[in-house]
Amino acid sequence: MFESLSDRFDAIFTRLRGRGRLGEAEVDQALREIRLALLEADVNFNVVKAMVARIRERCVGAELSKSLTPAQQVIKIVNEELTNVLGGEPLRISYASRPPTVVLLAGLQGSGKTTAAAKLGRWFKQQGRQPLLVGADLQRPAAVEQLRVLANQAGVQFWSEASDPVAVARGGVEEARRRGRDVVVVDTAGRLTIDAELMDEVRRISEAVEPGYTFLVIDAMTGQDAVNTAQAFHSTLALDGVILTKLDGDARGGAALSVKEVVGKPIAFASTGEKLADFDAFYPDRMASRILGMGDVLSLIEQAERTYDQEVAARGATRLQEGRFTLEDFLEQLQQVRRMGPLKGLLGMMPGVPKELRQADFDEREMDWVEAIIHSMTPEERHDPSIINGSRRSRIANGSGRSVADVNQLLKRFGEAQAAMRSLGLMPKATKRSGGNKKKKGKRGAGRVTPPLRNAPRDLSPLRPR
């Protein structure tokens, strides 16, 4: 579902990230591509137009966040607008103070009403409710039987009788009261196309049972037709929301992206397969992130915005560039990153991080140890680790409760990191006296290697804003 759109967004954002500064031209280009991607995903033209206009407006007025790169800011805006288009907040069912809460399902034939009724029954049951499914589709005897079988599979109670649909629906609500059921889901008959008779029937059922919720079931695979159907139904029947089915079969997703804006009613539930379990409440924000292929990167961005002190980050970067990056700076950066939460959690939220790494067990204590060792150094030592001789190493080890080998290991890693920065041109070659330039790394500690401080500085580098 949404694969092609996801791929398009991925390409657009990758290009955007590759640019340092984003001027008007770059943003325009990205917006053109976004517009095309949405249109190709069969999103309603007016919806696309309005959405792109809003994104443009916000990008131009750029709510400049100091801790995000320009590309991240654009992505954040696109994600928020996509979430809005998909409905904003997820629908929260409020149950009738005088039970039962009646839920009426309407829709064209084959849209997935009967299946959705059973799935909804199962969902309500999971919410701790006692639903009753009522079969009011009396056009075909098989329809009632289908619901009975599905209800049975879902472990949900079922009721119907041979009379007319309005009477069955009304009778179903009375039956629910008798049985002490607190939710009633009424399945109704559909037609191949919208006709007056069908509309009249659902309307009469609706008047008879006064539903708390009327959901229109629409088949996502029918694209913009689904949206037009929704509009037609909404003009007759006051809809509370839409149940979008067969999302598993719809690679484009245009219907999902158009319903809310065109009909004015949100997607309440989404069905993604034939099995009863392939169904859930619809979460616009999660769906948007999924379409944008971002893992949970937005939570990550928000976390960074909340906790990352941009001034400190900038100070670190400057010192790096000037070749004055010391253990003191390192400690400061490390603490910044750690404030964002456990490393494992952060990696879990980053897209593109290999699964092995996401699932790896990080020993957060190792970072505690690194901090302890640096804390046990004097300011002079932090500025120029090359003065840390044997007796200083013992003192630092004692002070931090770690072994001399651990101290050696940290100094070695820091020396190597500086060497790496130099080779990347981040630090001038041997022009400064401070830092680890003069240090002969690993000299004293070599040969006594303890478990390396594997996860400390190196793994943090991707988290530093560029």
Ligand X SMILES: Nc1nc2c(ncn2[C@@H]2O[C@H](COP(=O)(O)OP(=O)(O)O)[C@@H](O)[C@H]2O)c(=O)[nH]1
Residue 316 binds ligand X, judged by CB under 6 A: no
Output 111 or 386, the one with its CB closest to ligand X. Answer: 111
Smallest gap from residue 255 Cβ to ligand X (A): 13
CB of 120 to ligand X, least distance (A): 11
| Per-residue buried b or exposed e for 340-356, using 16+ beta carbons within 10 Å of the residue's own CB | beebbebbbbbeeeeee
Give the angle subtended at the CA of 451 by the CAs of 446 and 452, to the nearest 5°: 70
Span interacting with ligand X, options 172-180, 255-263, 267-275, 365-373, rule CB under 6 A: 267-275
Choice between 135 and 445, CB closer to Mg ion: 135
242 membership: H or E segment, kind and range: strand 241-245
DSSP 8-state symbol, 221: G
Q: Does residue 122 interact with ligand X by CB under 6 A?
A: no
By CB under 6 A, residue 113 contacts ligand X: yes
107 binds ligand X (CB under 6 A): yes
The whole-angstrom separation of Cα 368 and Cα 379 is 19
Residue 131: asked if its preceding bond is cis (omega within 30°), the reply is: no
**Interface ranges with Mg ion (CB under 5 A):** 113-114, 143
Q: Which is nearer to ligand X, 187 or 329 (CB)?
A: 187
Here's the x/- map for ligand X, 182-201, by CB under 6 A: it reads as: --------x-----------
Q: Minimal distance in Å, beta carbon 44 to ligand X?
A: 22
- Which two tokens mark 388? 């840390």
Cβ neighbors of 421 (< 8 A, separation 6 or more) are 320, 325, 427
On whether the CB atoms of residues 43 and 330 are closer than 8 A, the answer is no
Of 79-87, 106-114, 169-177, 396-404, the segment contacting ligand X by CB under 6 A is 106-114
- DSSP codes joined into one string, 396-425: HHHHHTS-HHHHHHHHHHHHHHHHHHHHTT
CB 257 within 8 Å of CB 8 = no
Tell me: does residue 229 bind ligand X (CB under 6 A).
Answer: no
253 interacts with ligand X by CB under 6 A: no
Closest distance between Mg ion and the C-beta of residue 85, in Å? 30
Kindly state the number of chain residues that form the binding site for ligand X, as judged by CB under 6 A. 19
3-class DSSP state of 87:
coil
Residues that bind ligand X (CB under 6 A): 107, 109-115, 190, 217, 245-246, 248-249, 271-274, 278
